[in-house]
Amino acid sequence: MSIFAIILAILALLIALLYILEERTRRQFESKGVPYRGNVTYSFILNAFTGVSFIQNFTRTYNRLKSLNAKVAGGSDFGITKLLILDPDIIKSVLVKDFDHFVDRAGHIPTPKNDYLFAKMLLVLKGDQWKALRSKLSPAFTTGKIKRLFALFDQSGKKLVKFIEDETTTTNEMDLSTGYSKFAMDVIASAVCSMNSKAFEEKDPSVFEKMGDKLRLRFGAKDMIHMLVIVLAPKLANLLGFSIFDMEMQDFFSSAIKGSIHDRQEKNEKRNDFIQLMLEAREDKLKAEEGELSTFEKDAEIKSVGKASTSGDMLDDTGIVANCVLFVLAGFDTTQSLLLFCAYALALNQDVQDKLREEVETVLEDNGGEFSYESIHKMTYLDMVISETLRVYPPAGITERTSTQDYQVPGTDYVLKKGGSIQVNIAGLHQDPEYFPEPEKFDPERFSMENKAKINQYAYLPFGAGPRNCIGMRFALTEVKVAISHLVHNFRIEPSQKTLIPMKYTNENSLKPKGGMFLALNKIQH
């Protein structure tokens, strides 16, 4: 028998084995009345090779299961049960009412030894460690703390306007991805790390931008193979020096931020940034403003997850670096995504843009021609536009939690075993006509004071829900409002010859336009 024939026989045997395992998994779910959506791993791999984006996959999966009137659907991923929740009432139970069963986010990816920052990020911490660190950090994200940073947001907004003016001197068309990348990085560098990103000082990406870009998780064919080795053969991954995050990036941020910490301690100096807030949290000196509860305290009541614990060494110098990097990871990509698609929606809906500009001009006139924290948050229509952008173009299409104990799924006969995961398909929910009539239509009026109360809050989850929602929500919304306000005040946004209509998406962990976001930006003379 030839080698080729042997290889074919082995492949055939492997395929047969995988088929048998799939059918057994399918029968296990269907015997409990739960439809089977398939193997999540295979779906991701197929998408990576065929170019189907995550957002398309999430929406198609949701619509197919919704047509079956399914409230939940079974799946598997590397042998881990993945239960997809479609019903808002069950979502509420999982994320809020029964949070004690789902304290942890998905945590089935081994941490390669080279990823020394990954293990100390709030995002991946579990149980009592997460609870303790979240409680310590929550006061850093209160309204009062973010208000102190507003001047930095506004400075970055003005730099963005100047950058766009320079880029559109010869043509009004530009890829707004570049400008918003620089804006998001400039805000994070100054407000989080007290660093000069130098993003707007040169046309090409600065070192800070390049390092931030290395944090982006991509899911092409090569990336999927790399991740498969880490998940399936962690010892081999360590031997080969594989890591989830680029080593040059980790070393860059570690050196810069630890240097800043050392400099402050040497000079006994305090700065107005999140490094300082984390240093205060480490010493238990960080408190919420009087009369203002932290995000952690405002969230749904957290049932006991075990004995009280301290954050231990989670906020040592490496821990502070890790959570600054997490800020870049979580805040850069998602913020840029929201800003890009908001500009896109405004370009395609001129009536919405005109109404928003009228509100911005009124606020500026009442505020002496400058934006303030209070004036930005006074703009109700701006808030409606952002909310609708998050509905139509959610930066994160899915959220996930891991069960810490066996869980009887409400309204079903299915018991999710400890260690299994639940997934909530945010993209699918946001496009469901049951909750949002004419979901393809961009309509900020859905979020007016009158209509907002009618929305099922567990069918609209751009920042998640419950105690493990996005801790940086206030920070993100404030910087986004600043950027959009500066943009519509200074430019009329229109589609250009290169604008993608309909939109196409890349295959990355957050929603991004394929090939950039080309728009026409026409300067408004005041």
The domains of the chain are located at 1-31, 37-523
Which pLDDT does position 97 carry in this prediction? 95
Is the distance from CB of 104 to CB of 402 less than 8 angstroms?
yes
pLDDT value, residue 119:
81
Tell me which amino acid residue 467 is: P
Angle between helices 54-66 and 40-50 (to 10 degrees): 130
Q: What is the pLDDT of residue 211?
A: 84
Helix axes 274-282, 127-137, angle to 10 degrees: 120
Q: How crowded is residue 239: how many other Cβ atoms within 10 Å of its Cβ?
A: 9
Around Cβ 512, how many Cβ atoms within 10 Å?
Answer: 23
Whether 509 contacts 216, CB under 8 Å: yes
Whole-angstrom distance, CA of residue 16 vs CA of residue 316? 50
Find the mean pLDDT for residues 190-200. 88
Q: Please report the pLDDT score of residue 297 as a whole number.
A: 47
The predicted pLDDT at position 401 comes to 94
Whole-number Å distance between alpha carbons of 334 and 342: 12
The confidence band for 118, taking pLDDT boundaries of 50, 70 and 90, is confident
Average pLDDT over residues 498-514: 88
| CA distance readout (Å), 162 to 122, 201, 206, 321, 486 | 36, 11, 17, 31, 11
Helix (DSSP H) and strand (DSSP E) numbers for the chain: 21, 11
pLDDT above 50 (res 421): yes
Longest dimension (CA), the chain: 85
CA dihedral 150, 152, 154, 159 (to 10 degrees): -170
Higher pLDDT, 332 or 491: 491
Closest CA to 332 of 213, 427, 243: 213
pLDDT of res. 469: 92
Q: How many alpha carbons fall within 13 Å on the CB side of residue 435?
A: 24
Give me the pLDDT at residue 295, please: 46
For range 132-144, the mean pLDDT: 89
What was the pLDDT predicted at 317?
92
pLDDT of 160 reads 97
Confidence grade of residue 48 (pLDDT, cut at 50, 70, 90): low
The residue among 106 and 303 whose pLDDT is bigger is 106
Tell me how long the chain is.
Answer: 526
Predicted local confidence at residue 361, as pLDDT: 97
- Check whether 281 has a pLDDT greater than 50: yes
| Domain at 37-523: CATH code | 1.10.630.10
The residue type at 414: Y
Q: What is the pLDDT of residue 220?
A: 58
**How many CB atoms sit inside 10 A of residue 182's CB?**
26
Residue 398's SS3 state is strand
Looking at residue 383, its pLDDT comes to: 98
Q: Per residue in 218-252, pLDDT tens?
A: 555 566 666 667 766 777 777 777 777 778 888 88
Cα separation, 86 vs 143, whole angstroms: 33
Model confidence over 369-394: pLDDT tens digits? Answer: 999 999 999 999 999 999 999 999 99
**pLDDT attached to residue 301:** 38
425-442 confidence digits (pLDDT tens): 999 999 999 999 999 999
Helix (H/G/I), strand (E/B), else coil: 111: coil
pLDDT at 200 over 50: yes
Q: Which amino acid type is present at position 321?
A: V
Q: What global pTM score does this model have?
A: 0.88
Which of 508, 504, 498 has its CA nearest to residue 174? 498
> Is residue 391 exposed (0-12), middle (13-18) or buried (19+ Cβ within 10 Å)?
buried
pLDDT confidence band for 114 (50 / 70 / 90): confident
Max avg pLDDT among 64-78, 101-115, 150-164: 150-164
* Residue partners of 267: CB distance under 8 A and separation at least 6: none
Q: For all residues of the chain together, what is the average pLDDT?
A: 86
